[in-house]
Amino acid sequence: MRPLYQLNLQQQFGGGEVYTDFLCQALGRLGVPHTLLVHPDAPFWQQFNLPQTTLQAIQPDLPSLLQALASPSLLLTHGSTPPTWRRALKAAGHRLVGIAHMPLYGRDPKAFENYDGVIGVSQYVINSLHDAGVKQAYPEPWYGVAALARMQRTEMNITQHSYYDWDKRKGRDRLLSWLEPLVKPFRSRPVFRKKPGLTVGIVSRLTPIKQFPLLFEHLAPALADIPDLNIEIFGSGGYASVRDLKQALRPLAERVRFWGHQHHVADVYAQLDFLLTGLPEKEALGLNVIEAQYCNLPVLAVDALPFRETVLDGKTGYLFTDPRQDGGKHLKTLLLAIQNGTKPHPQPAQEQTHLQRFSLDTFTERVKNTLPWMENSAND
């Protein structure tokens, strides 16, 4: 087999980096030698326990990448690469396989042009590849895995952190990122205590992909009519994303609290009654959906792909009508029925066959089955 490399040049930690972690774990389990090429300004990689992975920092440019690769190599990229990179990599004799972490709907349909193969992280992503004319897509999805290291309870207090993820490329964000640490010592850091009633939580980066402001623009007025309902938000986002989300949540007033990014998500999941997802069309899979179910936390999600792939309606959570269609009436009815006991509170931990689809064992088997295709069959 050709020397195998993964390329992940992200400087911020997110779901794609969690995915990269368990792909390294799977390759290590299979005894496949591999190198992970990362950005020199992404220090979080040193915190991962990847004894079978060679970690190499490179400059984020084409000459550095070409220099790092043995020739000919198999290069797995998380997402796409610039067109000039693809042509140069192919001209140098490298085999190029992309992992599509996002659906191509609304994105560049030529994002994976010149790739030998593309692997989708869900059937929804694969459908988008087919609809974009990507013929070299692998037919089976590489579903994500619950990151079990993140699933360990610490029993530590959950305290409020900054819920802003500053974009240093923007002048306003850069200025606010300088001011925030100056104000921080004068602010109290509340400790999370679950309120009486039904607690629905968001545990996610507050990125435009999730579309939380649009979700609550249609959902908040309906949820405001539900007594003893609390919305707890664990995650951070850009200034505009947080501003717009706060605006959309105004009908719920003091029943909403922001807690910022949390490292120990298992402690967060244990304090919630349900996890709420964002809107579906820009979502690829949702690792938080998988993690929550592994922690026996049921999920509330719009009845559409990709959530139909990850949530068993009535068993590991509930799928509800898109609030852009019904103004949130279906979800309101569901939550009221749960509160009055006419709808059961799902127990995802009882659905082990479903959860096994998202285990590291199953993911490793998927990778094993795909290796010959990556080496020989993709785009042949």
Q: Which domains does the chain have, with CATH numbers?
A: 4-145+359-377 (3.40.50.2000), 153-356 (3.40.50.2000)
For residues 306-317, one letter each, b for 16 or more C-beta atoms within 10 angstroms of the residue's C-beta and e for the rest, the string is bbbbbbbeebbb
pLDDT at 170: 58
Q: Report the run of H or E that residue 56 belongs to, with start and end.
A: strand 53-57
C-alpha torsion angle, residues 253, 255, 260, 261 (rounded to 10): -140
Quick one: pLDDT at residue 49? 85
Which pLDDT tens digit goes with each residue over 79-118? 999 999 999 999 999 999 999 999 999 899 999 999 999 9
Confidence of residue 157 (pLDDT cuts 50, 70, 90): confident
> What confidence score (pLDDT) does residue 362 get?
95
- The CA-CA-CA angle for residues 76, 66, 364, to 5°, reads 20
The predicted structure's pLDDT at residue 162: 83
Tokens of 193: 């205590």
Strand partners of residue 237: 164
pLDDT digit string, tens, across residues 260-317: 988 888 999 999 999 999 999 999 999 899 999 999 999 999 999 999 999 999 999 9
pTM over 0.85: yes
Burial of 153 (C-beta count, 10 Å sphere; 0-12/13-18/19+): exposed
Q: Is residue 376 very low, low, confident or very high in pLDDT (cuts 50, 70, 90)?
A: confident
Considering just the CA atoms, what is the radius of gyration of the chain in Å? 21
The pLDDT of residue 173 is above 70: no
- Higher-confidence residue of 367 and 377: namely 367
Helices (H), the chain: 15-29, 62-68, 83-91, 123-131, 171-183, 212-223, 239-248, 265-269, 287-294, 307-310, 323-326, 329-340, 352-356, 360-372
- pLDDT at residue 56, rounded to an integer: 96
Q: Is 272 helix (H, G, I), strand (E, B) or coil?
A: coil
Contact between 223 and 249 under an 8 Å Cβ cutoff? The reply is no
| Residue 12, Ramachandran bin (φ over 0: left; ψ between -120 and 50: alpha; else beta) | beta
On the question of pLDDT at 377 being above 70, the answer is: no
Taken in order 8, 11, 13, 16, is the CA torsion positive or negative? negative
Mean pLDDT (whole number) for 196-205: 96
**Higher confidence at residue 277 or residue 189?**
277
In angstroms, the CA 27 to CA 264 distance is 26
> What does the pLDDT look like over 106-152, one tens digit per residue?
899 999 999 999 999 999 999 999 999 999 999 999 998 876 555 66
Average pLDDT, the chain: 91
pLDDT for 378 equals 53
Q: Does 380 have pLDDT greater than 60?
A: no
Beta strand segments in 59-205, E: 74-78, 95-100, 117-120, 198-203
CA distance 72 to 95: 7
Residue 237, pLDDT > 70, answer yes
3-state secondary structure (DSSP) of residue 330: helix
pLDDT at 179 over 60: no
**Helix/strand/coil for 49:** coil
First vs last C-alpha separation in the chain: 16
Report the share of the chain in percent with pLDDT over 70.
91
CA 42, distance to chain mean position in Å, is 18
Residue 161 confidence class, pLDDT cut points 50, 70, 90:
confident
- Nearest Cα to Cα of residue 201 among 321, 280, 295: 295
DSSP 8-class letter at 14: S
Nearest to 264 by CA among 188, 164, 144, 155: 155
